Amino acid sequence: MTFEPKILGFLCNWCSYAGADLAGVSRIQYPPNMRVIRVMCSGRVDPVFIFKALLTGIDGVFVLGCHPGDCHYLEGNYEAEKKFIMVQKFLKIVDFDKRIRLDWVSASEGARFAQVVTEFIESIREQGPSPLSGENIDQELFNNLKAMENSVSSDRIRALVGRQRRITEVENEYGEKVPIDEYNAIFDGAIHDEFVRQRILLSLSTKVLSVKDLAAELKLDPSEILENMLTLKSRGDIDYQSIDGNTPLYMRI
Amino acid sequence: MKNLGENSKSVVIIGAGIAGIQAALDLGDMGIQVHLVEKQSCIGGRMAQLDKTFPTLDCSICILAPKLSECYRHDNITLHTLSEIQKIGGSVGNFSVDVLKHARYVKEGVCTNCGDCGAICPVRGITNFFDANLVTQAAAQIAFPAAVPAAYRIDPNKCLYLNYEICGLCYQNCGADAIDFTQKDSILSLDNIGAIIVATGLDLAEDIHTLNIYGYQKYDNVITAMELERLICASGPQAGHLSRLTDGKHPKKIAYLQCIDSRSQKGQMYCSSVCCMYTTKEAMIAFEHDNELESYVFYIDMRAGGKGFQKFLQRGAKEYNIKYLKSKISHIDVDKDDNPIITYEDYETSEIKQLTVDLVVLATCIIPSRGINKLADVLGIDLDHYDYVKTNPFLPVETSAEGIYTCGCAREPMDIPRSVAEASGAAARAAEVIKGG
Amino acid sequence: MSDKEEEPRIGVFVCSCGSNIGGLIDVKALAEYSKTLPNVVFTEDNLYTCSETGLAQIKNGIKDHNLNRVIVASCTPRTHEPLFRDCVKKEGVNEYLFNFVNIRDQNTWCHQKYPQEAFEKAKDLIRMGVAKAAKLEALDNIIVDATPTALVIGGGVSGMTAALSLANQGFETHLVERENELGGRLKTLHKLFPNDQKAQLLLDNLKKNVGSKENLKIHTSAQVKNIEGFVGNFEVSVEENGNNINLTIGVILVAVGTSLFTPTGYFGYDGKIRITQHELESKLNNNDVKAKDIVMIQCVGSRNDERVYCSSVCCMTALKNALVLKENNPKSNVSILFRDLYTPGTHYEDYYRRAREEGVVFIEYSPEKEPSVEENQIKVYNQYLGEELLIPYDLCVLSTPLVSNNDNKALAQMIKVPLEENGFFLEAHVKLRPMDFATAGVFICGSAKWPVDITESISQGYAAAARASTIISHDTIEVEGATSFLPDYNKSLCTGCEVCIKVCPYNAISKNEEDEIVITQVLCKGCGVCGATCTNHAIIIRHFTDQQILSEIYAYGGKEV
Contacts of C265 (CB under 8 A, 6+ apart): none
- CA–CA separation, C368 and B291 (whole Å): 29
pLDDT at residue A185, rounded to an integer: 84
List CB contacts (< 8 A) between C71 and chain A: none
CA dihedral C549, C555, C557, C561 (to 10 degrees): 70
Residue C58 neighbours by CB distance under 10 Å: 24
pLDDT at residue B6, rounded to an integer: 57
Sign of the C-alpha dihedral, residues C116, A119, A138, A97? negative
When pLDDT is cut at 50, 70 and 90, the band that residue B276 belongs to is: very high
- CA–CA separation, B146 and B421 (whole Å): 25
A71 and A161 together in one domain? no
Each residue's pLDDT tens digit, C447-481: 999 999 999 999 999 999 999 999 999 999 988 89
A:189-218 residues touching chain C, CB 8 A cutoff: none
When pLDDT is cut at 50, 70 and 90, the band that residue A162 belongs to is: confident
B67/C432 Cβ within 8 A: yes
- Minimal C-alpha gap between A124 and chain C (Å): 16
- Assigned domain for A1 exists: no
- Assigned domain for A45 exists: yes
A35/C532 Cβ within 8 A: no
C438/A162 Cβ within 8 A: no
- CA–CA separation, C244 and C222 (whole Å): 9
Alpha helices in C260-394 (DSSP H): 277-285, 314-328, 345-357
Q: Is C525 on the interface with B (CB under 8 A)?
A: no
- Assigned domain for A73 exists: yes
Each residue's pLDDT tens digit, B93-116: 999 999 999 999 999 989 988 999
A115 and A212 together in one domain? no
> From residue C118, how far is each of A38, A119, C107, C109, C558 by CA, in Å?
18, 19, 6, 9, 18
List CB contacts (< 8 A) between C433 and chain B: 420
Chains that touch A (3 or more CB pairs under 8 A): B, C
pTM for the whole thing? 0.88
Each residue's pLDDT tens digit, C41-71: 999 999 889 888 899 999 999 999 999 999 9
Instruction: Find the CB nearest B146 among A25, A69, A112.
Output: A25
pLDDT of A253 higher than 90? no
A104 and A18 together in one domain? yes
Average pLDDT of the segment spanning C393-412: 97
List CB contacts (< 8 A) between A26 and chain B: 145, 235
B66/A110 Cβ within 8 A: no
- CA–CA separation, A171 and A173 (whole Å): 7
Task: Say if strands B359-364 and C442-444 run parallel, antiparallel, or are unpaired.
Answer: unpaired
C546/A162 Cβ within 8 A: no
- Assigned domain for A102 exists: yes
Backbone angles phi, psi at C186, to 5 degrees: -55, -30
> From residue C4, how far is each of A34, B101, B437, C40, C135 by CA, in Å?
33, 51, 50, 17, 10
Task: Say if strands B83-91 and A238-244 run parallel, antiparallel, or are unpaired.
Answer: unpaired
pLDDT of C416 higher than 60? yes
* Mean pLDDT for chain A overall: 91
Q: Is B2 on the interface with C (CB under 8 A)?
A: yes
Name the residue range of residue A244's domain. Answer: 154-252
Each residue's pLDDT tens digit, B282-338: 999 999 889 999 999 999 999 999 999 999 999 999 999 999 999 999 999 999 999
Are A47 and A83 contacting, i.e. CB atoms less than 8 angstroms apart? yes
Nearest to B405 by CA among B23, B131, B146, B39: B23
- What one-letter code names the amino acid at C489? Y
- CA–CA separation, C92 and C95 (whole Å): 9
A110 and A214 together in one domain? no
Each residue's pLDDT tens digit, B381-436: 999 999 999 999 999 999 999 999 999 999 999 999 999 999 999 999 999 999 98
Q: Is B175 on the interface with C (CB under 8 A)?
A: yes
Are C133 and C97 contacting, i.e. CB atoms less than 8 angstroms apart? yes
pLDDT at residue A173, rounded to an integer: 41
Contacts of C252 (CB under 8 A, 6+ apart): C150, C151, C153, C227, C234, C236, C415, C441, C442, C443
A158 and A71 together in one domain? no
B:275-334 residues touching chain C, CB 8 A cutoff: 301-311, 314
- SS3 per-residue string spanning chain A: CCCCCCEEEEEECCCHHHHHHHHHHCCCCCCCCEEEEEECCHHHCCHHHHHHHHHCCCCEEEEEECCCCCCCCCCHHHHHHHHHHHHHHHHHHCCCHHHEEEEECCCCCHHHHHHHHHHHHHHHHHHCCCCCCCCCCCHHHHHHHHHHHHHHHCHHHHHHHHCHHHHHCCCCCCCCCCCCHHHHHHHHHHHHHHHHHHHHHHHHCCCCECHHHHHHHHCCCHHHHHHHHHHHHHHCCEEEEEEECCEEEEEEC
Nearest residue of A to residue C438, measured between CA atoms: A74
Residue A49 neighbours by CB distance under 10 Å: 26
Q: Which of B30, B424, B433, B435 to mutate to test the interface with C (most CBs of C within 10 A)?
A: B424
pLDDT at residue A119, rounded to an integer: 98
Average pLDDT of the segment spanning C188-208: 97
- CA–CA separation, A38 and C528 (whole Å): 12
pLDDT of B202 higher than 80? yes
Each residue's pLDDT tens digit, B367-394: 999 999 999 999 999 999 999 999 999 9
- CA–CA separation, B51 and C330 (whole Å): 50
pLDDT at residue B59, rounded to an integer: 83
Residue C547 neighbours by CB distance under 10 Å: 11
A25 and A60 together in one domain? yes
* Mean pLDDT for chain C overall: 95
Q: At CA A64, angle to CA A58 and CA A67, rounded to 5?
A: 165
For residue A32, give the CATH number of its domain: 3.40.50
When pLDDT is cut at 50, 70 and 90, the band that residue A129 belongs to is: very high
B394/C349 Cβ within 8 A: no
pLDDT of C175 higher than 60? yes
C:51-110 residues touching chain B, CB 8 A cutoff: 51, 75, 78-79, 82
Instruction: Find the CB nearest B424 among C309, C451, C466.
Output: C466
Contacts of B22 (CB under 8 A, 6+ apart): B67, B419, B420, B423, B424, B427, C432
- Assigned domain for A149 exists: no
Look at chain A and report how many structural domains it folds into.
Answer: 2
Each residue's pLDDT tens digit, B1-34: 456 665 689 999 999 999 999 999 999 999 999 9
A103 and A163 together in one domain? no
pLDDT of C4 higher than 80? no
Instruction: Find the CB nearest C106 among A6, A21, A161.
Output: A21
pLDDT of C2 higher than 60? no
List CB contacts (< 8 A) between C346 and chain B: 270-271, 384, 386, 388, 412-413
- Assigned domain for A33 exists: yes
pLDDT at residue C1, rounded to an integer: 42
Contacts of C317 (CB under 8 A, 6+ apart): C193, C277, C399
Residue C412 neighbours by CB distance under 10 Å: 17
pLDDT of C526 higher than 50? yes
pLDDT of C418 higher than 90? no
Percent of chain C with pLDDT strictly greater than 90: 91
Angle in degrees, 0-180, between the axes of helices B225-232 and B275-289, rounded to the nearest 10: 30
A51 and A116 together in one domain? yes
When pLDDT is cut at 50, 70 and 90, the band that residue A172 belongs to is: very low
Cβ–Cβ pairs < 8 A, chains A and C? 171
A91 and A161 together in one domain? no
C528/A39 Cβ within 8 A: yes
A221 and A159 together in one domain? yes
pLDDT of A17 higher than 60? yes
Output C383 or B144, whichever has higher pLDDT.
B144
Average pLDDT of the segment spanning A127-149: 96
A15 and A115 together in one domain? yes
- Assigned domain for A107 exists: yes
Name the 3-class secondary structure at B357. coil
- Assigned domain for A148 exists: no
pLDDT at residue B437, rounded to an integer: 62
When pLDDT is cut at 50, 70 and 90, the band that residue A151 belongs to is: very high
When pLDDT is cut at 50, 70 and 90, the band that residue B211 belongs to is: confident
B239/A111 Cβ within 8 A: yes
Q: Which domains does chain C have, with CATH numbers?
A: 10-139 (3.40.50), 149-258+404-477 (3.50.50.60), 260-401 (3.50.50.60), 484-542 (3.30.70.20)
The answer to whether the bond into A129 is cis (omega within 30° of 0) is no
A63 and A104 together in one domain? yes
For residue A209, give the CATH number of its domain: 1.10.10.10
Percent of chain A with pLDDT strictly greater than 90: 71
pLDDT at residue B410, rounded to an integer: 98
pLDDT at residue C33, rounded to an integer: 98
Q: At CA C451, angle to CA C445 and CA C452, rounded to 5?
A: 70
